[in-house]
Structure 1
Amino acid sequence: MTPEWVINFGQHALYVTMIVAAPLLLTALLVGLLVGVIQAATQIHEMTLSFIPKLLAMAAVGLLVGPWMLRTLIQFTHDIIVGLPGAVK
């Protein structure tokens, strides 16, 4: 394993992590922002009011985007397993 291969692997792993986590994180961000604006406008500051919509929205996005996320992770794992013999010399 060369240092270049390890750095390339680390960069690719971080990229895949960002891409896979982005839909759920962006959903939580947008729903949290929307609920925060509504709470500020109505002056209702209940903790469950911000938690439940985020949970439901993230579950819905997880169901919609889950197969793509799984395919991406499987492809990444496959690339690692296939490329590993060539990396070890």
Structure 2
Amino acid sequence: MSPEIATDLIGESLQLTMLLVLVLILPGLIVGLMVALFQAATQINEQTLAFLPRLLVTLLVLGVAGRWMVGLLMDFCVSIFERAAALVT
């Protein structure tokens, strides 16, 4: 395996990881910010009020985008196996 191939694989895997993490984290971040603004405006300091909406939004995003995310991971896995088979021959 040449260094160029290894660099390409690492780059692609990092891009895929960043995309999948961004899809899961960004909605929770936005909801957490809205809840924090609500808590600051009303002076309610309840920890479950901050945690539960983020958890529900993350689960909702996982349910909606889960099939797409698994499809991306499966496509990447197949492409890695195809490249590995091409390197052997």
Separation in structure 2 between the aligned mates of residue 87 and residue 38 of structure 1, nearest angstrom = 56
CA drift at 1:85? 2.3
2:5 matched to 1:5? yes
Provide runs of 4+ in structure 1 moved above 4 Å.
none
Gaps of 5+ in 1: none
Query: What percentage of residue pairs aligned between the two structures are identical?
Result: 38
Q: Which residue of 1 aligns with 2:52?
A: 52
Gaps of 5+ in 2: none
Structural RMSD (CA)? 1.2
Q: Indicate the structure whose relative CO is greater, using CA pairs within 8 Å and at least 6 residues apart.
A: 1
Q: Which residue of 1 aligns with 2:61?
A: 61
CA contact (8 A) 1:31 1:53 kept: yes
CA contact (8 A) 1:28 1:58 kept: yes
Q: Which residue of 1 aligns with 2:79?
A: 79
- Return the TM-score normalized by structure 1: 0.94
CA drift at 1:88? 4.8
Separation in structure 2 between the aligned mates of residue 88 and residue 5 of structure 1, nearest angstrom = 13
Aligned length: 89
